[in-house]
Structure 1
Amino acid sequence: MFDYDQNAPLEIEEVGTEMRGDVTVKDITYTSPVDGRPLSAYLVLPDAAKASADGTFPAVLYIHWYEQESPTANRTQFLDEALMLAEENGVVSLLPETMWSVSNWYNEGRTIDSDYQDAINQVIEFRRALDVLLAQPGVDPERVAFVGHDFGAMYGSLMGAVDQRPTAYVMIAGASNFNQWMLFGVDETQPGVDEYKAHMEELAPTRFIGQVAPAPVLFQFGTEDFFTPQEDYEAFFAAATEPKQIMTYATEHAMLLDEIQADRLAFLREQLGLL
């Protein structure tokens, strides 16, 4: 279902480069294995002097959230965090675009007829992003983390079940089932909705998250988050297998508290051997 030609050329093209102190931020494109279109991403590269003792670099794949009105609901969301990890710990990061990078995606960029195949395609493109990240010189394939917020966490659960390359995961404010989020504003009595729910249930993150083991998973949720009520996030966590941990915070879906980032960075540094 989520297979693609991993030997197809990445066709990485550099659109622009910016120096942030000693850190290089490259604006790049690479080719989608789904339809051949160019996919945009930020590639964050530390100074060579930041390499580990063995000359390698740990790596993180960051997948952003979706919020129609938010200026960070795109590949910029985790850029500052990636810069911090590059400067302080020599981490290489990739921050790719997604199908929800466009603000009107939910209402105009998708339909209930396309959601199932779109989900499969998005997972394939996440796997291609891993190809790009691991193709960077010096990246240590034994120290690769995945961080996903919102839909990033949900589709990331599917990816992790079929692609064992990430060695640690941080799942932030994701729902346990796509049906909870994909039907806002839809008359659920209309023909075809029951069939849609059954089809999307096959892709529920709870069906996949347990298969990312033995990679450890940190779940981060807000107790005031309308989109992930306690019953739901507890179900998501319960579906995962050990090693796993859950942290909750008195905040909403954007998950902006400083302590959330601090806890995430502590987990990443531990799992990537940076302590």
Structure 2
Amino acid sequence: MTIKKFLLKVTLISFILLAISYTALFISAGRAPDIHSLDQNPEFEVQSAYDLPDFWNLTEIQKIPLNITIEDTRYVWDETHQKNFTVQNLYYTSQYWINNTPLRIDAALVFPDNSSKQLGLVPAIVVMHGIGGNLLQLFNQLYFLAANNYTAIAISFPGHGNSSGPPPVQEWIIPNLAGYNGTITPDLLNQTHFYLITRAAVRAVDVLLNQSVVDPTRIAMTGGSYGGLTTMFASNVYWQKVRSAIPVIASGNLDISFSTPWSLTNLIVNPNEYDLTQPPVSDLIQYFDPIYYVNTTNNPATLFIAGTNDDFFPVETFNNTFYATNNATKAMSMTPAGHHGFLMDPMEGTVLYWLNHTLFNGPAPPIIDVVRDVESTIFGSKLKITANVTCDVPISKVFLATHWEIMGATWKKTEMTQSSGVWTLEKQHLPFNAEITYFVIVELENGEYITFFSSYVWRDEITTWLEIPFFILIGVGLAMPIYLLMRRDVRKMKSRIEATNQRRYLYLNGIQLAGMGTTEIFIFVSLFLPLVVALPESNSFGISLAVVLNEFIDLFPFFAYVVFTCLITGFILTMSKPVLGGLINLIVPIMLVMIGLSMLPMLGAYEDNTLVSGLSGPLVSVGIGLILWFVMCGVQIGFGIFKRKYQKRL
């Protein structure tokens, strides 16, 4: 075999491998679940919702005496708002449960400053925490609401904080259904944590109604995560009193959330043990899925506050829940790249605006009418968005938030152009076919607070005929450096190696190409294997680098560039200089380990979390993906050292 023919085969093989690998790399993010547009029906059975009024007996719930016990009353000066507040710590009974034991709920009431004696009756709001939390985490919100003349009550859910009752572990989310025959019994209800927290929230409203300063016609409810789910339950059950609901980072369609591989709901209910789509679990879950509650005619005015990258609830579940809400007074405030409680845009202004509208008949949120059009162009298609916005207050800006559904892409927010009372923006196609997720954000002029509302979320595919030429160009562009490096190596060694040993050298290069190509394939595969495994002794919830690049890249936007640069550079150099290529490939796993170690102290912040403290065994362990990546880099470096020694012998 001549050197020329050998190099030709090397180039051909490299081109094929690179073209296939990097085509897959760009499109391997996987198509996200379908997002329903407003002219489509979400995938749920509406008729199930009609059973809910019979499921909750409000009269029976209110027969239980509250037995309010005030532990202490104190006066607090809040530096942030420069106001005095009255704070009461108290307990009340939400129900009697197992063995007729009273379920005592720990609560805190914060009253606004009424030193002027001019407030009169004030509106009131129930504020609820997330799973594993407690009311102590909510005082900043309570003070903010009190500073705006609301009486606010925060509660610790059953099994949280100082409240009695069971913790929200799996056996209380999905109770023992061995004897379930299709009938919901009181005993079964008392073993279901969703039921216990909903009754606690309903009775919190009654505690507010017992306060002489509270206007009984202006009651609202809000909560984050687990508290957001409870908001949708309890506000619907007590619709006669709760006029406004604000679920934050919480949605319905729990079957989608629990079945989504990367959703952190898998840490609460192990999908390997329960199939939420099949009876008897599905029979029970339909009574505790918020999408059925918001679909009833009892549902109060509802504002959904969410993030596109929520770690528990996929974005399509917010869409479906918003669509299902059976009340014309509803709105959504979606943060692009927002996660489950972090990287969220400020929501104080939006909350106050909504409460003023729903409790005091203030200005309504903007009505956002979005016209979507995928138009054909010479090289493919483009997306044209037109937003017609009707609003009672001046509009500050209108944005289009967009996200290409490709690995490593981040959310972008672009200001739309106004002309003749409408806002427009066009998005051109990429060099390859890709789906784009997008929605419109309307920012209002509302004094010191940022106030914004958003449209429904859509997803469309933008195509181009440039895709095949683009990937061919990428393949050729990546194959050429390999060709040039190997040609240089062969020419250099030809002048140094005796003719009798040149064939051995060519065999060595062939082994290098096949072996290093195989290690690169394994490194590519490790992208989709778990880097870490959460709760390794129970739920074994794995998180891969592909999931990080798809769902969490907005936390570390620079990391996508590092990963792709290292993958490309490492691939090219490994074919010629395995030691250098292996060292470059090591950069990514080493960075992952460093990021992981830097985040370990954050786990300490959750030591008082009821859910976390109740777990046994390690919270995380190293996944096979990280191990495989390190091993393949070691093989590359080891082969490079062997090659150098072997060449010296030649």
TM-score bracket, normalised by the shorter chain, equals: 0.7 to 0.9
The C-alpha deviation readout for 1:200-252, integer Å capped at 9, x for no partner, is: 12321111113365632110111111212111110111110211001101311
CA displacement at 1:199 relative to structure 2: 1.9
Equivalent pair of 1:153/1:171 in contact (CA under 8 Å): yes
CA displacement at 1:51 relative to structure 2: 6.6
Q: What is the identity, as a one-letter code, of the residue corresponding to 1:227? A: F
Residue in 1 that maps onto 2:180: none
Inter-CA distance 200–215: structure 2 relative to 1 (3 Å threshold): closer
Residue in 1 that maps onto 2:62: 6
Residue in 1 that maps onto 2:331: 245
Q: What is the identity, as a one-letter code, of the residue corresponding to 1:105? A: P
Report SS of the residue matched to 2:242. Answer: coil
Residue in 1 that maps onto 2:222: 147
Report SS of the residue matched to 2:96. Answer: coil
Larger Rg: 2
Aligned residues: 267
TM-score (norm: length of structure 2): 0.38
Inter-CA distance 39–90: structure 2 relative to 1 (3 Å threshold): same
Report SS of the residue matched to 2:293. Answer: helix
Task: Name the CA distance, whole Å, in 2 between partners of 1:162 and 1:171.
Answer: 15
Task: Name the CA distance, whole Å, in 1 between partners of 2:61 and 2:314.
Answer: 39
Equivalent pair of 1:64/1:152 in contact (CA under 8 Å): yes
Report SS of the residue matched to 1:48. Answer: coil
Are positions 1:169 and 2:225 aligned together? no
Task: Name the CA distance, whole Å, in 1 between partners of 2:89 and 2:297.
Answer: 30
Task: Name the CA distance, whole Å, in 2 between partners of 1:273 and 1:51.
Answer: 21
Describe how 1:198-237 pairs up with structure 2 within 5 A.
Answer: 198-211=283-296, 215-237=300-322
CA displacement at 1:272 relative to structure 2: 3.3
Are positions 1:38 and 2:104 aligned together? yes
Are positions 1:98 and 2:157 aligned together? yes
Q: 56, 65, 68: which is aligned to 2:130? A: 65
CA displacement at 1:19 relative to structure 2: 1.8
5+ residue gaps, structure 1, are: none
Inter-CA distance 266–236: structure 2 relative to 1 (3 Å threshold): same
Residue in 1 that maps onto 2:354: 267
Please identify which structure carries the higher helix content. Answer: 2
Task: Name the CA distance, whole Å, in 2 between partners of 1:256 and 1:95.
Answer: 24
Report SS of the residue matched to 1:271. Answer: helix
CA displacement at 1:175 relative to structure 2: 2.9
Task: Name the CA distance, whole Å, in 1 between partners of 2:340 and 2:173.
Answer: 24
Equivalent pair of 1:51/1:90 in contact (CA under 8 Å): no
Task: Name the CA distance, whole Å, in 1 between partners of 2:116 and 2:219.
Answer: 16
Residue in 2 that maps onto 1:86: 146
Task: Name the CA distance, whole Å, in 2 between partners of 1:156 and 1:207.
Answer: 13
Residue in 2 that maps onto 1:185: 270
- Identity percentage of aligned residues: 23
Inter-CA distance 160–264: structure 2 relative to 1 (3 Å threshold): same
Q: What is the identity, as a one-letter code, of the residue corresponding to 2:112? A: P
Q: Which has the higher contact order (CA 8 A, sep 6+)?
A: 1
Task: Name the CA distance, whole Å, in 1 between partners of 2:292 and 2:304.
Answer: 16
Residue in 2 that maps onto 1:135: 210
Inter-CA distance 218–154: structure 2 relative to 1 (3 Å threshold): same
